[in-house]
Amino acid sequence: MNLLRLFLVAVLLASAQAHAQKPANPEEIAFWESVRDSKNPEELQAYLNQYPNGNFTVLAKARLAALGENSTAKRAPRSQAAPASPPAGSYAPGSVAAATRLPQVGDSWAYKLSYPRLRGQWGQPTRAPASHVIKVGAVADGKIVDQLSIDGGTIAETTHASGSYLGPQGVSVYSPYLISLQDLPATGSLGEIAILDAPCRATYRCRAAGRIAGREQVSVPAGQFSATKIIVEESWQPTSTSAGFATAQMNGGRTITIWYVPQIKRAVKFSSRLTVGDIPPVESHFDLELVGYQVK
């Protein structure tokens, strides 16, 4: 009964506090969404360490209390001046076995989608970033079914299999689970890449090829990791010349760079850059970076 009373009081305090605090930024929202339903007290504590005065602090503490954990005794609270801890799960194990590298149902990752400016875009409105939260819904027969929610909206499911492909998942990305579904050499060509984006099957003729560039340290909001780096070059042209003057503008290409970390079981960063062209078939100039995750 005391625990229930504590939880109800905490929720009431959270509601009052929400009116006094400024709105949470996209990174905090994405982080909270990735841990809010967790039954692991360490993941909730990671949110408290990262955002000691965050918009969801009281709710996180209430969740800890409901789980029978005393977060204050476990870890001393940090002052605002102290450096923040890395987001949940950024302390990855040193190695991962082939038999356990597949994602499991319930694994989740939170990303921030941002849009760097293109040359010639000065003076135009800045596009707001978005939060992408992905959870694994099923794993069977070498396929992964995951669920994407953008800014807390409707969930969309995508099925991923082994192989090399570009396809839509909020934005057009390259095989997000490639390193979980197959072994990769240290370097070398990936050959021609399948393209699943709808415009490339109708209005545009698209081609892509990739290569493994080797190992590289990558820094994302979730932490710093040693990653396998892959570079994909995609080009496109219109299927007909009926568009007139716009036909020339529809010719173009992009480079998309992807960093994979075996312990995270997924790509931690996608960086797509439009290299030429004015009317691309898909969103071609963006960064999608990991801000938090929980894997089993």
Q: pLDDT tens, 109-156?
A: 999 999 988 765 555 567 899 999 999 999 999 899 999 999 989 999
Position with higher pLDDT, 126 vs 290:
290
Query: Do 49 and 180 lie in a common domain?
Result: no
Query: Do 70 and 116 lie in a common domain?
Result: no
Give the model's pLDDT for residue 243: 58
Query: Do 116 and 69 lie in a common domain?
Result: no
Query: Do 121 and 246 lie in a common domain?
Result: yes
Indicate whether 97 belongs to any domain: no
CA atoms 159, 160, 164, 165: torsion sign: positive
Q: Measure Cα distances from 11 to 1, 56, 225 in Å.
A: 16, 10, 36
Position with higher pLDDT, 43 vs 81:
43
Res. 21 pLDDT band, cuts 50 70 90: low
- Please tell me the distance from the alpha carbon of residue 59 to that of residue 235, in angstroms, as a whole number: 48
Give the model's pLDDT for residue 77: 39
Query: Do 263 and 173 lie in a common domain?
Result: yes
Position with higher pLDDT, 63 vs 173:
173
Position with higher pLDDT, 245 vs 16:
245
Query: Do 22 and 119 lie in a common domain?
Result: no
Give the model's pLDDT for residue 131: 94
> At residue 72, does pLDDT exceed 70?
no
pLDDT tens digits, 228-267:
999 999 999 999 876 566 778 899 999 999 999 999 999 9
Give the model's pLDDT for residue 12: 45
| CA Rg value for the chain | 21
* Mean pLDDT of all residues in 37-63: 77
**90, two tokens:** 């950024």
Query: Do 209 and 286 lie in a common domain?
Result: yes
Share the mean pLDDT of the chain: 80
Closest CA to 44 of 62, 26, 25: 62
Cα 121 from chain centre: 26
Give the model's pLDDT for residue 55: 81
Determine which of 54-68, 98-112, 182-196 has the lowest per-residue pLDDT on average: 54-68
Indicate whether 152 belongs to any domain: no
Q: Tell me the residue range of the domain where 47 lies.
A: 2-74
Q: 259 with 268: CB under 8 angstroms? A: yes
Indicate whether 102 belongs to any domain: no
> At residue 221, does pLDDT exceed 50?
yes
Query: Do 59 and 177 lie in a common domain?
Result: no
Angle between helices 41-50 and 26-35 (to 10 degrees): 170
Indicate whether 157 belongs to any domain: no
Indicate whether 81 belongs to any domain: no
Position with higher pLDDT, 271 vs 23:
271
Position with higher pLDDT, 160 vs 17:
160
Position with higher pLDDT, 125 vs 284:
284
Query: Do 44 and 172 lie in a common domain?
Result: no
Indicate whether 172 belongs to any domain: yes
Res. 99 pLDDT band, cuts 50 70 90: low
**171, two tokens:** 């934005």
Which of 24-33, 35-44, 223-232 is predicted most confidently? 223-232
**227, two tokens:** 């990653």
Res. 211 pLDDT band, cuts 50 70 90: very high
Give the model's pLDDT for residue 122: 54
Q: Which strands form 171-174's sheet, in the order they lie side by side?
A: 171-174, 165-169, 194-195
Residues 112/286/150/66 CA torsion (nearest 10 deg): -10
Q: 289 with 110: CB under 8 angstroms? A: no
Query: Do 181 and 273 lie in a common domain?
Result: yes
Q: What percent of the chain has pLDDT over 90?
A: 53
Query: Do 123 and 50 lie in a common domain?
Result: no
Give the model's pLDDT for residue 83: 29
Buried b (16+ CB within 10 A) or exposed e, 51-78: beebbbbbbbbbbbbeeebebeeeeeee
Give the model's pLDDT for residue 206: 97
Number of domains in the chain: 2
Query: Do 209 and 278 lie in a common domain?
Result: yes
- 107 DSSP assignment: -
> At residue 41, does pLDDT exceed 50?
yes
